[in-house]
Each structure stands twice: as structure tokens, then as C-alpha cells.
Structure 1
Amino acid sequence: MNTPRTLHLNTNVTGTGRHPAGWRTLANPKSIIDLEFFATIAKIAERGKLDAVFLSDAVALRGHAQGPAQSLEPTVLLTALAGVTRHIGLIGTASTTFNDPFNLARRFASVDHLSAGRVAWNAVTTYDPAAAANFSFGDAPDKQARYARAAEFVDVVLKLWDSWEDDALIADRASGRYADPARVHAIAHDGPHFQVSGPLNLPRSPQGRPVLVQAGGSEAGVALAARHADAVFTAQTTFEGAQAFYREIKALAAGHGRDPRHLLVLPGLYPVIGGTLAEAQQRKAEMDALLDRSAELAKFANALGVDVVDLRLDAPLPYHLIDNGERAEVSRGFIRSTVLLAQSENLTVRDLLDRNPGAHRMIVGTPETIADDIERWFVGHAADGFNLNADVFPSGLAAFVEHVVPLLQRKAIFRRDYEGTTLRDHYGLPRPSSRYAVTGTDGVATTAVAS
């Protein structure tokens, strides 16, 4: 109980970086499809002893005329990165709306085996009508339907990951026994969305099961995270708002009988780093000069659920027009964090566009300024760590690793070396037991894998 908390840091890889024009500064602007580009990011993160590399995902093409979007399928890319790293965790996003539980459980468990226990699944729902059109859906499901499916989807995946007990794989050459059928269980799931017999067709993964992450700030998303997730990725733009969210979700987890320390709260953070404040501001200004401002304004309006003509650059947000939750294709977490930031500092639309449109908190400054801010949020229980966004990869991440990480280590809040081998080890999470091993009665033993 008296073990000191340790700061947790992931690097959040979205395209070639968070700044929309950052790709224009790269020697290879087509890096989005270059394995060496991503391998370099992973190796820099591992050099800095970061917990994990996190890959976002999108399953529809949008905005490609202005810049790169996430394109490579996350588990495929993570498998490749597992081969060029030894310690760093590997987190991939996959939607519960347009996937199948058995295939997804198998995919992530496979990468967990191939990486020796370094994988996490970031479970998200998808509200994009363009994505629905790619998966034979007439329309994107509404929020209630998405989260009802998501809750059952996650339940099925966890059952499948538990369907093999730890000692079920015997592989005894002398006796000829390969698996113990009494320790391999059908899950016999029969629900409104899924009917899955199980078991999974590969043994229990090195972590017991891959780490489960949830991203999203809606009420339904928070409820799902509190019940099941090991970590939650969230958009928090104010210190007091982040503290309130931290208390709320930890209390919800405790209400489910969970140890709240085993649900990590990891807000996004977007540092722009310079040796001096002027250097950091200049770095940002050089990228800002390459932006298509009209395109950025249009994207911002769409994210808020308003028409672009309703946004006046030097006026506050039109709070009375911002989407009230009726539109399926907006993020409630994004809107909440943006409104909180705008109101707390009385920001104009132009101010918000200058601050990563409110999505994740931006700090432009020196390594000392950024390290002090991270410490304040961590010590103040506004976060257990951060999902770090680089303005452009790999230079933005390299600056953080070379100049901010040593300061965090001197503050004695961040590791100097990895102390375990799995992502659960990095996150300080216990290894879960199979639910079937605990009760012995939840599943039906099968001999299907004993041959």
C-alpha cells in the first residue's frame, strides 16, 4: 500500500505527428507507409524507457488531401515493431463496432505471444458514417447501440483470453500429451449481439491476457472503462477538470470491486519543446506557417457539430450552437475538453486553433517547464501519466526523451530502467488469473485442442 506511484508515459503515434503540417518538414513526407520511420519512433521511445508506443486508427479515408492519416493496420505494424524492440509496450486500436470478437481476441493474443507479453488493445467504438459505409452498414449505429455492442464485445474477448488456463499447455514429449483438455474451456457465450462457443485456438498469452485500454470521454465510455479497462486514454485540458475526472473514474472502478490503482488515467499531452521559450515558439510558428487555415477551421467546426460560418476567429465559441449530443458523428469527450479549456481561459476560436483545437493539452516551452507541469499533474492526482503527442516524429519525441525524461528521472517520478518484461510490468498491473481457473465451473471443458 505504501509503494510510491510511478509516472507512466506512452508515445501516441497519429500519422507523422500531431501538427497537421508537420509532414511537410520531413525529408521523406511519405513516411506514413515506411516501416523504418515507425521503427525509429519505437526505438527512441524505448531508449527513453517509455511504457509503450500507442497507435491510433481510422477505418475510413478523410482529409487525405491536406495531410497523412493513420493508414497501416495497427496489429500488423505492432508485430513488425515487436521484432525491432525488446522492452517497449505496443498498444493498438481496434473498433468494437466493425470487428468480430473471436478474430480480434486471436489477433491481439497472437501479437502478445510474438512480443513476449508487450501488447494492449485500445477498445473504441466508431461513429463515423464513412466507416460504416466500408463495412456494409447502411448507417453508423447510434451511441446506445454502439456501446451496448461494445460492452458485450469486450466481455466476449476477455472470456476468450481466459479460455486457456496458465498451465493448460503441457507439451510433454515423453508422454505425448500436448494440452490438458480439463484446463481449456469453451466460453459458451450466447448474447444479443454475439454467440461464441470458444475456446480461443491458441494458449493463454504471456501477460495472462493483453492489457485492455479504453479511449473516450462519453458517459458510456467511462462506464465501460471503469468496469473493465486497465488504462483509460482521455482528453483533459484543465487541471481541475482532470482532477475531477480522475476522482470520478477511480470511484467508479472501486464501485465495481476493483482496486482503483489498477485503472491508470492517462490524458493526452502535446509538448512543443525548445531550449528556450522563444525556440519552442519558433518551432511551432514554422509549422503553423505551413497550415491551410481554412481547412483547419472547417475540421474544427465539424468536430464541434457546428457550421463553419458560425465560427468567428476573434470571438468566443458559439456555445449555444455546439452539438447537444444528437449527432452521432461527434466526440463528446472532445467537445467537453474543448469547452472546458475555452471557458477556463476565455479563449477565442483563433486561440483554440492555435492550441491543437482543444483536443489534447498543448504546452509550448522548455524541458524544465514541461517536466514541472507533468510533475504537478501527477502529484496532484490529475493523471497517472500521459499519452504524449509529438508535433512531428521523430524529432519531437527525441527532444522529449533527450531533455525532459532526465528531468523526470531526477524528480524520482519516472523509471531509469525497465524493471520487468511485459507491459503489465511497466504499468504496475497484476497478472490476472483465468476466470475459469478460479471457479472451475464457468466454462465447459473441451477436448478440441488436445490432439
Structure 2
Amino acid sequence: MTSRTAGGPVRLAVELDGDGSHPAAGLGDERPPAERLSPRALVGLVLAAEIAGFALVTFDDSPLPPPNGFRPEALGRAAYVATRTNRIGLGATAHVTTTEPFHVATQLASLDHASHGRAAWLVGAANSPDALATIGTGPLEPAGLSREVTDVVDVVRRLWDSWEDDAVIKDAATGRYLDPGKVHHVDFEGAAFSIKGPLITPRPPQGLPVVIAPERLLEAARPDVVLIGGSGLDDLRRRAHHAKESGTPRVFAEVEVLLNAAETAEKRLRRLDSSIRWEHTERLRYTGSTDGLTDLLAWLGTVVDGVRLHPAVVATDLPPLLETVLPRLRAQRALSVPEPGTTLRAALGLPRPANRFAASKG
């Protein structure tokens, strides 16, 4: 895989939750979690990712505490780095099963305002007994879970639209801050909840922040970006075709990455697995050199719109991505890099949606 066929430049995202995607990622690090996972350390990582040309950084989350016991919630992490960056998208996971929809809508709208239009919501649907016990309920049946995802995503989008773009008028002469005729109740009735609205914040700069969901939630969430995996490249190509045929605007491949370092990637993997085995997921997994990864990403740009990378060990696998892989892709003109000050929707080539309430007047 050394040549690039027809296809646009690939957009790259990177997951920066915790120490890395390998469960043993932090075991060999002598720094305490409060230091290596501190807000200051996170800002440094995100700034480096922005400078290198990543289009999006994401932060995973769970209703349950992580094994090391240290994890500020994802939306808080995204908000903390929002004013310290100017072009990289900021994606935070929020679970529809354990978070109030109104709070999800408000927090993401606030993140979009703070970042001047770079917020994304990674739709989570934690449904284990332990996760649901945190709110005093039990797991949902498959049909109920699908309905909950649909209802929450739908009402969150409606709440973002509950203020028209020109609702804030700031008319000092009359002492009016907003035009009440342009702020709307959503009057939503779901299977398990109802929301009258409106939201307590003006419409986000993007209109609707970007909604990202895994392939298993494709039909329920109707995302702007779907995340796909595959048992191999042919399977991933098939899944990408299915996602695009469904009408999903953008398709991103999920790729776990473990690179050569002081020792070969194979030896690193064996050493890490000797502590805690890295079980296979539906994501593709790349183990090897930066040259091979560069070729793979360039090829994936002919199949999907973007790739989200999951470094096995952030401290070891992120630096060669920043210093070698992305610069090579840029030199090949195979990497789509956001312009400073652009919104995430613009960086992904997505239009800014019209407000549903304003459109209904016309």
C-alpha cells in the first residue's frame, strides 16, 4: 500500500482520554495520574495536536470512574481547552442514558460558544448494570435503548434551535435584550421524558454542533459523523459504503495505533499485554512503523472522510504522529487541515443548518 488513488485529503481526529487505549498504558509511567492527566498536561497535548493539523480531538467518558480513579468529565475537559485553541474541533462524550437531555444541550451549546463553533457531541449509550446504577435504574432493552437515543438526540437538536439566530437584539433604547417572538418552546414528548424548553443559552455558533455516533447507533442517532470499524480493510470499505448509502454526511474510520519506538511495536505490544491484555474491538488496529501508518491513512482517505486515531500509549504513540506521520501527510497534500478561526462544521465540509423554527415561519 504505497500509492494514493483518487480521494480527497483525509481529516484526522485523535482520542486523548486518559493514558491511551491500551489498558496497561499508564502502568509504566512513574508520574502520578494527577500530574500526567492534569488540565495543564491536557492543554499541552491538544495544542500540539492542533499545530500538527488534527481536525478534531475527542474525550471519552463513562458514568463509572476509571481504573486509576482520576478523570475530570469530558465536557469539562473540552471546555477547559476551548479558549486556549483556535481551530481544532473539541468532541466530548455524553451518555444519553445517564445525563439529562436539557443539561447535554446546555453544556454543548456553551462549549460551542466558548470555542467559537468547534464543539462536537460524541453520543454515548452506556447501558451496563453498573453504569445505570449510578442513576438508580437498570439497563434498557434494545428497543428501549434505541428509542432513548433517538429521543435524546432529537430533543437536544430542537433545544439548540429554540433560539433563532437573531433572537438577541440588545436594544439599549428600549431595554430589550431579546425578541421573545424568536425564542421558542420545543414542547417535546419522548417515551421516557418531556421537555418544554426553550434552552437557557442562545443558538450555538454552528447552529447545531456536530453530532458523532458509533455505527451501532447510526439509525437511532442520525449523526453528522458516523464512526466505523471493521475486521479488515475490505470489511471497513463495505461498512463505509453502507454508512454513506444511509445518507450519513461524513464517515470516519476508527484505528488503534501502536508504533515502533525504542523497541519494535510487536515487542511493545507483548510487554504491555503481559500486564493487561489488549482485547480486540471492532476498530482496525495498526501495529508497526510510521511509514506504514502514513500509507494506510493516505489510502483510507480514498475510502472514508476521516480517521479517528486511538494511540495505544499517548506518551509514546502521540509524538511520532505529531512529528512524523502528519507532517508526511501534509507534504503529500493528503491531509485536510482546518484554517484558524473556522468552525468544526466548516472544517468537515458540513453546511450550517437553518433554524427549524425560523424556517417554519416562511
Contact 2:266 2:288 in 1 (8 A): no
Contact 1:269 1:386 in 2 (8 A): yes
User: Aligned partner of 1:44: which letter?
Assistant: A
Residue 285 (str. 1) matches residue 267 (str. 2): yes
1:36 counterpart (19, 33, 40):
40
State the match for 2:353 in structure 1: 432
Residues in 2 aligned to 1:369 and 1:114: alpha-carbon distance in whole angstroms: 38
Residues in 1 aligned to 2:198 and 2:100: alpha-carbon distance in whole angstroms: 15
User: Aligned partner of 2:29: which letter?
Assistant: L
Residue 373 (str. 1) matches residue 296 (str. 2): yes
State the match for 2:256 in structure 1: 270
Contact 1:280 1:364 in 2 (8 A): no
State the match for 2:156 in structure 1: 157
Residue 363 (str. 1) matches residue 345 (str. 2): no
State the match for 2:139 in structure 1: 140
Q: CA deviation at 1:75?
A: 0.8
Q: CA deviation at 1:366?
A: 2.3
User: Aligned partner of 2:267: which letter?
Assistant: A
Residues in 2 aligned to 1:417 and 1:104: alpha-carbon distance in whole angstroms: 26
User: Aligned partner of 1:222: which letter?
Assistant: L
Residues in 1 aligned to 2:178 and 2:65: alpha-carbon distance in whole angstroms: 44
Cα distance, 1:199–1:404 mapped onto 2, change above 3 Å: same
Query: CA-to-partner distance for each residue in 1:331-372, whole Å, 9 max, x for gaps?
Result: xxxxxxxxxxxxxxxxxxxxxx5xx52442222222221111
Q: CA deviation at 1:231?
A: 0.6
Contact 1:91 1:119 in 2 (8 A): yes
State the match for 1:18 in structure 2: 21
Residues in 1 aligned to 2:291 and 2:64: alpha-carbon distance in whole angstroms: 39
Contact 1:21 1:287 in 2 (8 A): no
Between stretches 36-45 and 391-400, larger displacement belongs to 391-400
Q: CA deviation at 1:125?
A: 1.2
What TM-score results when the alignment is normalised by the length of structure 1? 0.74
* Structure 2 gap ranges (5+): 1-6
Query: CA-to-partner distance for each residue in 1:15-55, whole Å, 9 max, x for gaps?
Result: 21122222133341414641122112101111112111101
What is the correspondence of 1:223-372 to structure 2 with a 5 Å cutoff?
A: 223-225=219-221, 228-253=222-247, 260=248, 263-274=249-260, 279=261, 282-283=264-265, 285-286=267-268, 288-292=270-274, 296=277, 357-372=280-295
Residues in 2 aligned to 1:417 and 1:371: alpha-carbon distance in whole angstroms: 19
Contact 1:281 1:364 in 2 (8 A): no
Q: Which runs of 4+ in 1 moved over 6 A?
A: none
What TM-score results when the alignment is normalised by the length of structure 2? 0.91
User: Aligned partner of 2:317: which letter?
Assistant: G
Q: CA deviation at 1:238?
A: 1.1
State the match for 1:257 in structure 2: none
Contact 2:171 2:177 in 1 (8 A): yes
Count residues with an aligned counterpart: 356
State the match for 1:399 in structure 2: 320
Between stretches 281-290 and 194-203, larger displacement belongs to 281-290
Larger-gyration structure (1/2): 1
Residues in 2 aligned to 1:148 and 1:265: alpha-carbon distance in whole angstroms: 23
**Superposed CA RMSD:** 2.3
Identity percentage over the alignment? 28
Query: CA-to-partner distance for each residue in 1:196-238, whole Å, 9 max, x for gaps?
Result: 11111111111112111112x33xx12124xx31111222231
Cα distance, 1:110–1:35 mapped onto 2, change above 3 Å: same
Q: CA deviation at 1:105?
A: 0.4
Residues in 1 aligned to 2:240 and 2:38: alpha-carbon distance in whole angstroms: 37
Contact 2:265 2:287 in 1 (8 A): no
Contact 1:109 1:210 in 2 (8 A): yes
What secondary structure is seen at the aligned counterpart in 1 of 2:255?
A: strand
State the match for 2:342 in structure 1: 421
State the match for 2:57 in structure 1: 53
